[in-house]
A and B are shown apart, each in its own frame.
Chain A
Amino acid sequence: MNIVVCIKQVPDVLSLRMDRERMTIIREGVESVINPLDYDALYMALELKRKEGARITVMTMGPPQSEEALREAMGAGADRGILLTDPAFAGADTLATSHVLASAISRERPFPDLILCGVQTVDSDTGHVGPQVAEELGLPQVCGVEHLHLEGGDLVAAARGDGFVETIRARLPAVVTVAGGAPSMIPVPLGAVQDAFAGGEVIRLGLKELSLAPEEVGLQGSATRVVRLHPPKPARQGEMVEGPSETLVEALIRKLESLSILDEEEDHG
């Protein structure tokens, strides 16, 4: 069985710098981590590998340093990595990103049985890539999956909906976005990441190798543009209270009283 896990390397949010021309984040020279919600996808793939035996390919689109994220995933148990990198890919929205990912996935031989993504990323926070890759590849999608198992040529998954959980059977190949809430820490054996850097196959693919034109990718291939990036305006700058606990509690009680929360029970008739 062949599984592709799409992961994204995201900068540690505390060390941000902006490219004011492209209105994008400068990723070089900044601490990077695998997008936390992608761990859940990777974990699910590793479980499937353990139970069913599977070859896991981790794939990411990003600057060259994203290879670290692939290596980390390989240290945790993924078998190979594919780095989709090219200056032309920069500034992509999910329309363009999903196009690049789908193009790379469709080159895989054999074609993967299962494509896993995290349910959203912390940087662009859209959660669109999974469904958009599914649409481009013409595959069924199951979103918000908490757990799944395989049955014949199908997957059977528990998928989170709005106020309910559905048990869904989907024919493979399929795209699955994995819900948050699963254990996020995958124990990586000491030295495994080092080994991953030494051995382990990471293939680099760019515009040429994917046979894509510049208009299809990156900023040019995007439908949306960021026109402003700014910190949120603080909506309130209220009063602050410091001091011993009794003082603090007094202030709290006064505030609650002023909001009429401590009044006698009203008749909500």
Chain B
Amino acid sequence: MGEQPGRVWVFGDYRNYFQNRVTLQLIGKAKELAQEIGTGVTVLVVGERVRQYAMEYVAHGADAVMVAEHPDLSEYRVETYTALVAEWVETYGPEILLAGATAFGRSFFPRLAKRLRTGLSADCVDLHIDPETKLLVQTTPAWGGELLAEVITPHHRPQMATVHPGVFEERPHDPEATGGIFYPEVKIRKEERIRVLRRRTRRSRKIRLEEAEVVVVGGRGLGSKAQFEMLEELAELLDGEVGATRPAIRAGWTEEERLLGQTGKSVRPKTLISVGTSGALQYTAGILGAGTIIAINRDPHAPIFKISDLGVVGDAKSVLPILLEELRKRL
């Protein structure tokens, strides 16, 4: 008998590998969870050219990888991956199955959970093992993020969850790491009813919000596109990136790619300056990992102040021009 794969599984979403860190972040967290329940972490690597990623996952903490390589798996397709992973789950019976809440994860995991007739929590902001029951406790935002719900899956297996990028920390790359490798049998079912006609990369400029050390965010309170542009200048002066809340995007002041929050990106910059944002949790869910949060808002009772390190009660219209002038002098 050889080793069995560890029973905390992480789906390896390796597209845009060097920008998309969510799988690595999940492996980091999965190691802690696995330790609590006396098992290891297995990362699923499915695709056509995956060898490099299998090695990278081991380097970042995977105890084992389960690999399926085949030209028919070259594209991420929900039906094909659902059929394949469901087979593996039924064969090996993992306790926990996690994935990043990427666009693919959010369309693939629910279908997989339904096929397996098990529970799934979405966009978790925390995971831990209950010391008594040994169940996975899944903390997810509810009510637009106004509340946090702690959810368990008491009787169904595996316990599944998707996790928002930026919530957990990845372990550093360790070239001395080793891990088990399994090549289970693979059943490939192509989805005949769906065809991808073409694909267009959508990146207007190189927007590297998730990597920026400084992020400046604009919300409804800025009032106008002109004010938002001042914010863009602020970001430039501080060598940072610009983010936005949904109202600012709806108003047409900037593009969808800059959206932060539950339906957008999560960022963990060293410094985040949030201007004209009230602090609705749909938004703040995406910024809680920031090192220092500075908020500027007219309303002293705005919820954003509950999560900031420095709260500046003032009107962006008056504050920004003076701030920009002072910064231009110094930089």
Which residues of A pack against B, CB within 8 Å?
A: 11, 13, 16, 23, 25, 93-95, 98, 119-120, 122-132, 134-136, 140-144, 156, 160-171, 174, 177, 180-181, 184, 222-232, 234-242, 245-246, 248-249, 251-253, 255-256, 259, 261-262
Instruction: Determine the chain A residues whose CB is within 8 A of the CB of B293 once the complex forms.
Output: 236, 238
Chain A residue with minimal CB distance to B125?
Answer: A232
Could you tell me the distance in whole angstroms from the C-beta of B24 to the nearest C-beta in chain A?
15
Alpha-carbon gap, A232 to B140, bound state (A)? 10
Could you tell me the distance in whole angstroms from the C-beta of B135 to the nearest C-beta in chain A?
9
B195/A240 in contact, CB under 8 A: no
Which residues of B pack against A, CB within 8 Å?
A: 15-16, 19-20, 78-79, 82, 102-104, 106-108, 110-111, 113-115, 117-123, 137-138, 140-156, 191, 193-203, 214, 238, 246, 249-250, 256, 262-263, 270-271, 281-282, 288, 292-294, 296, 300, 305-315, 318-319, 322-323, 326-327, 330-331
Q: How many A-B residue pairs have CB under 8 A?
A: 251
B151/A226 in contact, CB under 8 A: yes
A227/B311 in contact, CB under 8 A: no
Alpha-carbon gap, A174 to B138, bound state (A)? 31
Chain B interface helix/strand/loop/mixed: mixed
Alpha-carbon gap, A96 to B147, bound state (A)? 22
A232/B202 in contact, CB under 8 A: no
B148/A229 in contact, CB under 8 A: yes
Chain A residue with minimal CB distance to B105?
Answer: A162
Could you tell me the distance in whole angstroms from the C-beta of A137 to the nearest C-beta in chain B?
11
Alpha-carbon gap, A256 to B270, bound state (A)? 11
A168/B196 in contact, CB under 8 A: yes
Given contacts A132-B111, A249-B322, contact A238 B310 (CB under 8 A): yes
B322/A246 in contact, CB under 8 A: yes
Neighbour of A166 across the interface among B149, B196, B330, CB < 8 A: B196
Neighbour of B146 across the interface among A131, A132, A231, A234, CB < 8 A: A231
Instruction: Determine the chain A residues whose CB is within 8 A of the CB of B330 once the complex forms.
Output: 253, 262
Neighbour of A160 across the interface among B82, B103, B115, CB < 8 A: B103
Neighbour of B152 across the interface among A94, A227, A261, CB < 8 A: A227
Chain B residue with minimal CB distance to A127?
Answer: B106
B197/A125 in contact, CB under 8 A: no
Given contacts A229-B149, A238-B310, contact A122 B194 (CB under 8 A): no
Chain A interface helix/strand/loop/mixed: mixed
A125/B123 in contact, CB under 8 A: yes
A142/B143 in contact, CB under 8 A: no
Instruction: Determine the chain A residues whose CB is within 8 A of the CB of B121 once the complex forms.
Output: 126, 224
Neighbour of A163 across the interface among B119, B145, B152, B203, CB < 8 A: B203
B110/A229 in contact, CB under 8 A: no
Alpha-carbon gap, A125 to B79, bound state (A)? 23
Given contacts A174-B193, A245-B318, contact A236 B308 (CB under 8 A): yes
Could you tell me the distance in whole angstroms from the C-beta of B83 to the nearest C-beta in chain A?
11
A165/B200 in contact, CB under 8 A: yes
B120/A259 in contact, CB under 8 A: no
A241/B312 in contact, CB under 8 A: yes
Could you tell me the distance in whole angstroms from the C-beta of B106 to the nearest C-beta in chain A?
6
Alpha-carbon gap, A126 to B107, bound state (A)? 10
A261/B142 in contact, CB under 8 A: no
Chain B residue with minimal CB distance to A184?
Answer: B250
A16/B201 in contact, CB under 8 A: no
Alpha-carbon gap, A243 to B78, bound state (A)? 55
Chain B residue with minimal CB distance to A174?
Answer: B193
Could you tell me the distance in whole angstroms from the C-beta of B201 to the nearest C-beta in chain A?
5
Chain A residue with minimal CB distance to B197?
Answer: A167
Instruction: Determine the chain B residues whose CB is within 8 A of the CB of A252 once the complex forms.
Output: 294, 296, 310, 312, 319, 323
Given contacts A141-B111, A226-B151, A239-B310, contact A162 B103 (CB under 8 A): yes
